[in-house]
Amino acid sequence: MKIFVCVKPVPDTAAKIKVGGGASIDPAGVKFVLGPYDSRAASKAIALRDAAGDGSEVVAVAAGNPNKGESEARKRIKDVLALGADRGILIPDESYENRDPLAVAKALAAAIKNEGEFDLVFTGRQAVDDQAFSVGPMLATLLGVPCVTDVVGLEVDGKTATVKRAAEGRVEVLSVNLPCVITAQRDLAEEQYPKLKEILKANKKKIDTFSFEWPAPAYRVTELSPPPEPAAGKIVGEGPDAVPELVRLLREEAKALSF
Amino acid sequence: MSEFRGVDFFLLDELLTDEELAMREAVRTFVDREFIDNRAIEEHHRAGTFPRDLPQKLGELGVLGPTLPDEYGCLGASSVAYGLMMQELERGDSGLRSFASVQGSLCMYPIYTFGSEEQKRHYLPKMARGELVACFGLTEPDHGSDPGGMETKAVRDGDGWVLNGSKMWITNGGIADIAIVWAKTEEDIRGFIVPTDAPGFSAPSIEGKFSLRASVTSELILQDVRVGPEALLPHSGGLKSPLMCLTQARYGIVWGVIGSMMAVFDEALRYTGSRTQFDRPLSSFQLVQRKLVMMHSELTKAQLIALRLGRLKDEGKMKHYHVSFGKRNNCKAAREVAKLGRELLGANGVCDEYQVMRHLMNIESVYTYEGTNEIHTLALGAHLTGHAAFRG
C-alpha cells in the first residue's frame, strides 16, 4: 500500500497570535508544530502501513519556504518521519506565506502524481491556523479520486475502505473505492508521540525535493485584524427552569454537548 | 493539553540541534500526556506510590541509558539530549527523573564501563527497554558523604563471592531485579551485579518520606548472599569506579532540576498573572515581580551552566569538578526557586492542586543526594586550593 500524508506547519495552539502591520501574523516567538489533525492522519497512515506489511510505505509531503530558518516544512516532514513514516517530499515555495489553498492543492497533486500509483492520501480536516478546510477536497478533485472528509474511522480491505465520518448528530459509515483522499478528524487515531529512537532514525531518512512552478495567486490575504472581543456571557434564566434552555444552547450553539 | 511554557530567555534553543529539540519535545509531550494532564503524578505523590508501568513506558520512549551505543539497544544520543530528557522528566516530578537517572547513569553506565562484553549484551538491552530494573547500592547507613568508609564486604567463596552488609537510601531498591552493589574485597572496592532474588538479599522500603513520594526508596540488606564469578564487574576497582557513576548521575541532575524550576516558574507566573488582589493582578506588584525575577534569573543561569557542561561532556572535556559546580549551583537554585514559587502561590501553594509544594518537597532530596551542597563545595575547594578538606 502506498500512502501519502500531506502536512502543514501551524502555530502551536498555545501560542499567542499577534496580528497587525501586514497580511501575515508576526512569527516572532511563535512555535510551529505539526497540526493536530495532520498528526492523527500520520498516525493512522503509519498504522495502516504496518498492518499491510511488506512493500507498503508512507510518504510525508509538505510545501514551504525552504529559506526561512531551517524550513518549518522540512521540520514537520521530519516530525512525520519520527512517527514512523518512510520518506518525505518537500515542495519549495519562497512565497509560501501568501499561497492560496488551490495553489497548494495543485502542488501537492503534482508531487503525488509524479510518484505514480497510490492508494490513500491523507490530509488533516483543517489547518488550525487559517482554517480554510479546502486543500483536502481540492486535492481529491485534482487527482480525480473521491474525498471523504472529517473521518473518524477507517478500515481498508483490498481496493475498498470502510470509512466512518462525523456528520451532524450522527456517524456515517461509507464504503469508498481506493484510491481516495481522506481528511482526518481527531478521533481517527490516538495521539502518538515519537519514540526517541525514531527521531534519530528520522534524520537518516530521505527527504526529496519536488520543484513546482507556482501559479500566480488566485486570491491573497490583504489584511489581518484581531478577532472581535468575545461577547459578554449570556444569562438564560435562573433556577431549574433555566436548565433546558442552557442545555439546548450548550448543545446547539456552543457544541459543547454531544448527547 | 498542558499549557506549560518553557523558559528560553537567552535563546539557547538556537544552540540545540533539531534532533535535540525534537527529543525534548517528545519527552515533554510524554510527560504531559502520561502524568500531568491526567494528574497521575499528583495521585502517585499523594498515595506514595510508584507508577509501576513507568520502567516499560520510559523504555519504549527511549530515555533509559540513551547515550550508550545502539549496539546495546540504546540510542547513542548526545549528552545534551540526555540532559534535556532529564529536564523534561523532572518537570513532571523528581521521582520520574530519579528512576531514569538510577537505571541509566548509575546502573547501565557501570555495566557498560566496567562490565564484560557478555554482561553488556545480557543486561543492557533489557535495561534500556525497562524490562529489567536496577538499583545502585553505594551509600550505607553509617557512610553517606564518605562512601570510602563502607562496611559491606565481598569475600571469595570458591570461584564466586559471598556478600554481607547493608545499603541505605536506595532508589528503585524494592522494585529492582538486579542491584549494582559496591563492596570491599580484600584488595579493593569492586562492583557486583546481584540478582535481588538471591537468598539472603532483601530490600525493605523506607516509609514516611515527605519527598520523592512517587519513587521507591529502600534499604538493601545482604546476608551471606552468594553470587557466581559472573556477578563481578571485571573492570571495576577502587572508590573511583562508583564515583565515576555518580559523576554521570550528577550530570543528569544538573539538567533535571531545571525542569523542576521551569514547572514552578511557569505555575507562579500564571498564578500571579491571573489572581487579582487590591483590584490588580498579583504580578503587577513590585514585591511579586522581584520574586519572579529572582526565580527567572536563577533558572536562566542554571540553563547556561547546564548547556556548557553538556557540550564539554560531549567534547570529552568535562571534569568532575565541573559537574560539582553544576550540581551545587543548580540544586541550590532549584531549592530557592521552589521556595519563592510556593510563597507566590500563597495558601494555594501548600495544596497538591498546584505543583509547587511537590517540587519544593522533592528538591530537598535532590539537594541532598548525589553529594550534598557541602560535599560539592569541598570538591570545588579541593580543586581550587589543592587541599582536600574532607580527607584526614
Model confidence at A27: pLDDT above 80: no
How far apart are the CA of B89 and the nearest CA of chain A, in angstroms? 14
Percentage of chain B lying above the pLDDT 70 cut = 99
- Taking residue A173's Cβ as centre, other Cβ atoms within 10 Å add up to 10
Per the structure, the count of domains in chain B is 3
HSE at residue B213, side-chain half, CA atoms within 13 A, is: 19
Asked whether residue B70 is assigned to any structural domain, the reply reads: yes
Model confidence at B196: pLDDT above 50: yes
Q: Do B267 and B368 fall into the same domain?
A: yes
Residues 6+ apart with CB under 8 A from B389: B378, B381, B382
**Grid cell for residue B199:** 537468598
CA gyration radius, chain B: 21
Q: Do B36 and B107 fall into the same domain?
A: yes
Chain A CB contacts of B1 below 8 Å:
13-14
The predicted structure's pLDDT at residue A69? 59
Q: What's the pLDDT tens digit per position in A234-251?
A: 888 889 999 998 998 888
Chain B CB contacts of A203 below 8 Å:
18-19
Model confidence at A23: pLDDT above 90: no
Average pLDDT over residues B10-39: 94
**Domain spanning A2-223: which CATH class is it, in words?**
alpha beta
Q: Do B202 and B248 fall into the same domain?
A: no
Q: Do B261 and B222 fall into the same domain?
A: no
The predicted structure's pLDDT at residue B246? 97
Task: Identify the domain boundary among B231, B259, B276.
Answer: B231
**Grid cell for residue B241:** 569506579
How far apart are the CA of A196 and the nearest CA of chain B, in angstroms? 5
Model confidence at A17: pLDDT above 80: no
Q: What's the pLDDT tens digit per position in B342-367?
A: 999 999 999 999 999 999 999 999 99
Q: Which residues of B are catalytic?
A: 370
Q: Do B179 and B269 fall into the same domain?
A: no
Q: How far apart are CA B292 and CA B266, in angstroms?
A: 10
Model confidence at B324: pLDDT above 60: yes
Chain B CB contacts of A78 below 8 Å:
18, 22
Task: Identify the domain boundary among B165, B199, B231.
Answer: B231
Q: Does A79 touch chain B (CB under 8 A)?
A: yes
Asked whether residue B58 is assigned to any structural domain, the reply reads: yes
Domain boundaries, chain A: 2-223, 228-259
Cβ density class B214-234: b for 16+ within 10 Å, e for less: bbbbbbbebeebebeeebbbe
Q: What is the ipTM of this complex?
A: 0.88
Enclosing domain of residue B219: 134-231
Judged by CB atoms closer than 8 Å, whether chains meet at A195 and B61 is answered as yes
Percentage of chain A lying above the pLDDT 70 cut = 97
Q: Does A28 touch chain B (CB under 8 A)?
A: no
Measure CA of the first residue to CA of the last residue in chain B; give whole Å.
Answer: 55
The predicted structure's pLDDT at residue B1? 41
Q: Show the DSSP H helices in B129-224 as ranges.
A: none
Residues 6+ apart with CB under 8 A from B347: none
Model confidence at A13: pLDDT above 90: no
The predicted structure's pLDDT at residue A259? 67
CATH number of the domain that residue B224 is part of? 2.40.110.10
Cβ proximity of B2 and B32 under 8 Å: yes
Q: What's the pLDDT tens digit per position in A107-153?
A: 999 999 999 999 999 999 888 787 888 899 999 999 999 999 999 99
Q: Does A196 touch chain B (CB under 8 A)?
A: yes
**Grid cell for residue A233:** 456571557
- Give the best residue of B11, B14, B23 to mutate against chain A (max A CB count within 10 A): B23
**Grid cell for residue B330:** 543548580
Q: What's the pLDDT tens digit per position in A56-73?
A: 999 999 998 877 656 889
Q: How far apart are CA A4 and CA A10, in angstroms?
A: 19
Judged by CB atoms closer than 8 Å, whether chains meet at A196 and B18 is answered as no
- Give the best residue of A30, A31, A196 to mutate against chain B (max B CB count within 10 A): A196
Q: Do B372 and B322 fall into the same domain?
A: yes
Chain B CB contacts of A197 below 8 Å:
62, 75
